[in-house]
A and B are shown apart, each in its own frame.
Chain A
Amino acid sequence: MKASTQERLKAAAAHTLLIGFIALILFPFLMVIAISFRRGNFALGALFPTGDDLSLEHWRYVLGIPYTETMPDGSMRTVKASTPVLQWFWNSLKVSTSASLLIILLSGTAAYAFARMQFVARETLLKSLLILQVFPMVLALVALYALLQLIGEFIPGFGLNTHPGLVLTYLGGIAIYIWMIKGYFDTIPVSIEESAKIDGATHFQAFVRILLPMSAPIFAVVFILSFISHISEYPVASVVLQTEGQWTLAVGAQSFLYEQNYLWGKFAATAVLSGLPITAMFLFCQRFLISGLTSGGVKE
């Protein structure tokens, strides 16, 4: 009898602790959701805005719908965002999706060679890729800038202030994905491909028809990890993309929080609008991701 009471107490303590901790985790998110529905750009107010406090002005701004605002002197004016946040969202989506797809293409094929073929300096090459990759791209911005400027001069549409140009700069970050995909290929027995080859399939057919479909989970993991890391990427995007219409969310969201002009409410609406789909996607793919992460990958 005594043991069971002790067990129940222990469980109650654990629940209390976890709920308290989760409250702490959720606090910033709930705050931001509340602020996005609150009139004005100040934090003061209730957690659940009601009555006069409740306002959709920030959401209208973010979605590019005009709305009227009362000025400090009592006059009314109509406000409409010059660049709707939706445009940034679309830019981010475009850049991250195309970068991730291309990264899968580049790292998938390279990983196949590393996993299934013998060639000179294979191990050395594989390790050098991983070690060279730790060089932070933030510090190579001068070089990336010069490179894109040159590319833009000769291939219009791929230079500075373009999305294809930004996607190009992201294509270098493949080493960690090559490792992850190679690790997965290594767990699939070679014998299946071998027998397909005996039946007359070429190397390429064995790769595309047999190995790729079996490796779908790891490609999902790589896609999501790459997508999330590129949608959050700030330094390179902030230097490459120069005009407001071209910005990605990470660059645009920052612009609401200048020291002199703290547009807290508009930022909050932007954060909720852009954070929700990405978070939902992450949670949806959680199961894949956890298996991918525990096998050795690191989110950047």
Chain B
Amino acid sequence: MPRRWPTLLQHALIAALALALFYLSTRLFLGGETLIASGVLILTGLAIVIYAWERAYTWRYLFPGLVGFGLFVIFPLTYTVYISFTNYSSANLLRFEQVVNYLEGETHLSADTKYPFQAYQVGGEPATYVFILSNPASPEKRYRSETIPLPAAEPVVHPLRLVNADETPPGPALPLRDVIPLRSGLQKLSFKLPDDLVITNTSLRDFGPRLPTWQRDPQDDSFKNLITGESIRPDRNAGHYELVSDGPSGPAGQKIGPGFRSWIGWGNYVKIFTDKGIQGPFIKIFIWTVIFALGSVVCSLAVGMFLAVLLQWKELRFRKLYRTLLILPYAVPAFISILIFKGLFNQNFGEINLILNALFGLSPEWFADPLLAKIMILIVNTWLGFPYMMIVCTGILQSVPDTIYEASAIDGSNAVHDFFKLTLPLIFKPLFPLLVASFAFNFNNFLLIYLLTGGGPDMVGASTVAGQTDILVSYTFRIAFRDSAQNFGYASAIAAVIFILVAFISWWNLRQRETALSS
């Protein structure tokens, strides 16, 4: 009998989870997110099948991990690729339906109807007021509000009731100079007339009704301006509304209202490879990215390997202590070390320039000169990267049998010769996949570039933001998030290109490793 309990508990847990997810999908559905609601529903169904059906046993272990991976890797990836085919940017930020809603919601103040008001203070702390409005069209009518506290935190609509024109007001009306301080409170105030017309504050003297500016034609989503009589229609390729014919707002084709996201096909990709103003910096950045990644791997490998070989030497004392101290740059969180270097290399009061100045009278502009900035980046990345190479090389060196050196020692060769002729060929093969992985990591080493130089100094004459030390990821990040144009579509296209490049390197590396293992 006790053996049944885990099964019961398991069923109860599945049922609770399924109910929670079911509730979530209902809420999503009611919130208008039909597609996502069905996605959650399908996942719920899958979860129930997997955890209740004995034959889907394997997937019980895989399911949570795969859901996390799907949601936070595959979805963002797919979405980014999708964006790369649209013109999504700060100029085309909204979805089409949102722009339609925006235009439908746009109102203007009616020029002819105004309701002048008088305010009366009826209470002190907190201050409360009564408003009496008149209607110029029918002077015998007056409208009186309830007692209203001002200023109010939220915009509120207060009802008005009809009163006789000769009804005594609650006191002397506030003079204009006392109304002025109430301005911000007034702006949040609207009234509802007995005939349901809502009027909002228009000035320090009047309330007035707001009327819709645009009239929508549901047939083709075109709009007619009720003030000027102009018509606008959506241009679905360019992603904005435009004037149908010449009018007071401008010539035919003039852009009206906010832009919307639209599918533009391969446009962003074509731009990367053909637009001169973009192509120039793109190729430069690509070349620097490769140089940076290769240079980082080679430099940190050289330093790391040298130290690993040196620390292999068994007669050397304090080897353990040396190794621990040498691992330090790897142990300190990267964001801290990078920012420390940012300070140390500072042109005016960084320690490095202070020392260089004291010793040689030099004061290099590490952040302003493109070449020096690149050298600085390589120095810092070597400093950050060599411990990893040292650890890896030490591990691989231990697998090299000592006997090969004994044979060569008889021939009377020296250590340097031994290393290049004997050790290196032996350890290069197991080392290679790690070097490729390190290359791929540095290819996308956003943190280093972003925290150290931020991509600067800027390139002159580029049509997008582009820095001399930007690598592809940091360049893309800047286009999407740090440039005023926020060109998400174009940035996503570059992201897709980067992904294909790095995915190819990883795939190739994986195959190399497999063939190496099987041979």
Contacts and interface: CB of A to CB of B under 8 A. Distances in A.
Interface string B475-495: 011001100000010011011
B315 A11 contact: yes
B331 A279 contact: yes
A222 to B, nearest CB: 13
Interface string A271-300: 100110011001100100010011010111
A183 B331 CA distance: 24
A139 B80 contact: yes
Contacts of B333: 228, 231-232, 250, 274-275, 278-279
Contact of A136 (B71, B331, B395, B446): B446
Interface stretch (A14-22, A58-66, A213-221): A14-22
B461 interface: no
Interface in A124-168: 127, 129-144, 146-147, 150, 153-155, 168
A293 B388 contact: yes
A112 interface: yes
Interface string A247-268: 0011001100100001010011
A147 B69 contact: no
A82 to B, nearest CB: 21
A105 B58 contact: no
Interface stretch (B151-159, B185-193, B231-239, B437-445): B437-445
Given A14-B313, A178-B65, A235-B450, A142 B83 contact: yes
A264 B498 contact: no
Contacts of B265: none
Contacts of A22: 322, 325-326
Mostly, the B contact residues are helix
B498 A171 contact: no
Interface of A: 7, 11, 14-15, 17-18, 21-22, 25-26, 28-29, 31-32, 42-44, 105-107, 109-110, 112-114, 117-119, 127, 129-144, 146-147, 150, 153-155, 168-175, 178, 203, 228, 231-232, 234-235, 239, 249-250, 253-254, 257, 262, 264, 267-268, 271, 274-275, 278-279, 282-283, 286, 290, 293-294, 296, 298-300
Interface of B: 24, 27-28, 31, 33, 36, 57-59, 61-62, 64-66, 68-69, 71-77, 79-80, 83, 88, 307, 310, 313, 315-318, 322, 324-337, 339-344, 346, 349-351, 354, 383, 388, 391-392, 394-396, 433-434, 437-438, 440-441, 444, 446-447, 450-451, 473, 476-477, 480-481, 488, 491-492, 494-495, 498-499, 502-503, 505-507, 510
25 contacts: A15-B316, A18-B322, A29-B340, A43-B354, A105-B64, A109-B64, A113-B61, A130-B510, A132-B503, A133-B73, A139-B494, A140-B76, A140-B77, A140-B495, A142-B488, A144-B72, A147-B71, A147-B76, A153-B31, A154-B28, A174-B69, A178-B65, A235-B477, A279-B333, A283-B327
